[in-house]
Structure 1
């Protein structure tokens, strides 16, 4: 008998899975149980490499026994061990495999969660991969009609984009977040997302894009009547006036203080460009004579 020695458990389990012919199901069941026990003992002993390998074999065993749920749980455990070992590529592959197994047994929420856990582990070391995992986690939930569960994922992905200084990816993602919130009748989250997108464009010193974004969002009744709309309107007005102090004052307002931390940090750094030049451009546009043939 293997007793309590995880090394002997692994050897016995390997022997069962290699030699099993006539008693296939019984042997795989016994082997899988031994892999599970060994994996847990190695984990407790902080032998993460052997624990990871045992969890992988336990997951494969559960697959062979037609139990994708248990296989997915073991694959998540393998991902946790890979995280302890700082083997980030395996964190990605194990998280994705766990997600696939959860989908196989019709469980989209755990499937999304498996990807999100992997993404959180990768934010510092592989941020681009983390964003992709967050994005895929969002897609799983939205395709299943679970849009309400995506909000934190949108926020996390946006924060990573901002950390990477990929602002032109962060702003559209916030607009997509706003659309998802709209479908769930989450008006407050929707309006915060639209204000956040406008702030991101202003942070990139793209007043024109920020204004276009504001105009588009203002076509939506929920945003048009919101405090976030008024905040955005005042902020854009301060920009067009070239009023640096007013911009800084608005950045301290409650409407902005209630946004996500990554957006607040951007807002508190406004303005990032020469707003006096913007004021001059606005004045020149206002001084141009009216073209009676222009009906736009």
Structure 2
């Protein structure tokens, strides 16, 4: 089946590529072989990235799910990254961030702390690149509930980025984006970080200031 899929790829028959690699994956699953089943889907997905990216993403997602169900999350790390990279290419930034958070969750189960923290920081950077400061801040707060992230270099980098955004400090953002924590992320995320800040910083600063005033009003007991 995989040989037929490879031949279909050479002939540019993209629907057949998907079909053959899916059938190969199903065959492996019926035999109780999760890793080859996932590998078949991942290989098919890699062939489809340029021509049918939506189908490629579905196949990457299914490949990850197979490994998750088999308790082999650590074997899926590269697949999460491939899917996230493709989402960025398609400018589906929320989906890209969610995929990096999924990687972080999988890494947590494997006690792969470095990969976990890198996944969380990647998601925050993607939200910032997409001009979604509030979601970036929420993501940071949620991830900081995890002790491993709270004590990490990635957390400190994210905090510097968010603080610079709150202050409307473009130079501070650029400096934070050059930190060593970011240099060790996936290339697709590094490229986005280098383009920060995007969006209107003054609008973000005003939003933060307004939120601060609202909090003061709520706490005013006089």
Question: After TM superposition, is the score higher than 0.5?
Answer: yes
Unaligned runs of 5+ residues in structure 1 are 1-74
User: Match for residue 249 of structure 1?
Assistant: 175
2:211 and 2:22 map into 1 onto residues whose CA distance is 53
CA shift in 2, pair 1:292/1:95, >3 Å: closer
The counterpart of 1:281, out of the listed 207, 212, 218, is 207
Query: 1:277: how far off?
Result: 2.5
1:204 aligns with 2:137: no
Query: 1:258: how far off?
Result: 0.6
The counterpart of 2:105, out of the listed 175, 179, 198, is 179
Query: 1:265: how far off?
Result: 1.0
User: Match for residue 141 of structure 1?
Assistant: 67
Q: Which has the higher contact order (CA 8 A, sep 6+)?
A: 2
Q: How does 1:68-87 map to 2 (within 5 A)?
A: 75-87=1-13
The counterpart of 1:236, out of the listed 140, 143, 162, is 162
1:79 and 1:93 map into 2 onto residues whose CA distance is 8
CA shift in 2, pair 1:88/1:241, >3 Å: same
Query: 1:105: how far off?
Result: 1.6
User: Match for residue 104 of structure 1?
Assistant: 30
Task: Specify the SS of the correspondent of 1:271.
Answer: coil
Q: How does 1:1-296 map to 2 (within 5 A)?
A: 75-287=1-213, 289-292=216-219
Identify which range, 232-241 or 249-258, moves more after superposition.
249-258
1:114 and 1:95 map into 2 onto residues whose CA distance is 6
Task: Specify the SS of the correspondent of 2:98.
Answer: helix
Equivalent residue pairs, number: 220
1:174 and 1:292 map into 2 onto residues whose CA distance is 36
Across the aligned residues of Structure 1 and Structure 2, the Cα RMSD in angstroms comes to 1.4
Query: 1:101: how far off?
Result: 0.9
Q: Deviations over 1:137-191 (max 9, x none)?
A: 1111111111110000000000000000001111111111100000000000000
Unaligned runs of 5+ residues in structure 2 are none
Larger radius of gyration: 1
The runs of at least 4 aligned residues of structure 1 exceeding 6 Å deviation read none
2:118 and 2:190 map into 1 onto residues whose CA distance is 11
